[in-house]
Structures are given as structure tokens and as C-alpha cells.
């Protein structure tokens, strides 16, 4: 992946995101600020019924697992888009948070710090 000048509006590449505060092999040139992606999603009645049936058998409730994974992925992609809009080409300190807004409605927040990084020269 080319690391050159980030074009505003380009989404940050997934491999340029870390939960660490440094990105191995790169140095932070500019810190651009906090970025976030927020998705608020509700469970459908049919999905809730299907998940309720899955609880009878026990184990992984795959309907909810798929819903959670899709929601987290959407929030993550929105965070990457926000970072790109600020001119970033990486996100450090990435985290997730979730809050139940009301019964059956959950907010998922992906957040981190948008940065502009350059490769560290190899010696």
C-alpha cells in the first residue's frame, strides 16, 4: 500500500489501524484529532424471534453474532472514512464502545486518533 499524501475523503486502509499508540514501521508526522464512527441499530422482530429459538438449544446465538459483527464493521468503516476526511492515513488507539439506547436499540461507537504517518527509513 502506498503511504503518500492522503487525499481528503479517502478511507484509511484497514491495515493502517491499531489499538496501540504507535504504528510499527511508521512515525507520526501529524496528529489530526479524535475520529469516530457511530451506528445505532435495532433488532428486527423476526431476528429476535429467531434468536429466542436459538437460546432454547444453547450455544452461540449466530443471528445476534452476525448483527453485532455487521454493526461493528459499519462503525469501524465510518471511523476510517472520518479519518480520511481529516487527511489522515492511519488511526492509532482504536477502540469500540456500545450503549443500549433503549430496549432493543444499541449504539456502537468506533473511535481513535487520526494521524498522518510516514515510513521510518530502514538503516
pLDDT digits (tens, 9 = 90+) for 73-118: 999 999 999 999 999 999 999 999 999 888 878 899 999 999 999 9
User: Which residues neighbour 116 within 8 Å (Cβ) at sequence distance 6 or greater?
Assistant: 6, 28, 29, 30, 32, 87, 88, 89, 90
Q: Which H helix or E strand runs over 111?
A: strand 105-119
R_g (Cα) of the chain, nearest Å: 18
pLDDT band at 5 (very low <50, low <70, confident <90, very high): very low
Burial of 38 (0-12, 13-18, 19+ CB in 10 A): middle
Structure pTM? Answer: 0.81
pLDDT digits (tens, 9 = 90+) for 30-70: 999 999 999 998 765 555 555 555 566 666 666 677 888 99
Which domains, from first to last, does the chain contain?
14-119 (3.30.110.70)
Amino acid at each position: 500500500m502506498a503511504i503518500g499524501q492522503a487525499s481528503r475523503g479517502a478511507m484509511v486502509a484497514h491495515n493502517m489501524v491499531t489499538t496501540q499508540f504507535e504504528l510499527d514501521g511508521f512515525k507520526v508526522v501529524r496528529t489530526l484529532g479524535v475520529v469516530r464512527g457511530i451506528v445505532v441499530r435495532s433488532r428486527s422482530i423476526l431476528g429476535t424471534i429467531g434468536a429466542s429459538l436459538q437460546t432454547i438449544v444453547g450455544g452461540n446465538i449466530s443471528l445476534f453474532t452476525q448483527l453485532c459483527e455487521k454493526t461493528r464493521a459499519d462503525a469501524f468503516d465510518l471511523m476510517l472514512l472520518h479519518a480520511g476526511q481529516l487527511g489522515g492515513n492511519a488511526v492509532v488507539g482504536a477502540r469500540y464502545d456500545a450503549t443500549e439506547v433503549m430496549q432493543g436499540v444499541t449504539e456502537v461507537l468506533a473511535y481513535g486518533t487520526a494521524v498522518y504517518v510516514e515510513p521510518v527509513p530502514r538503516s
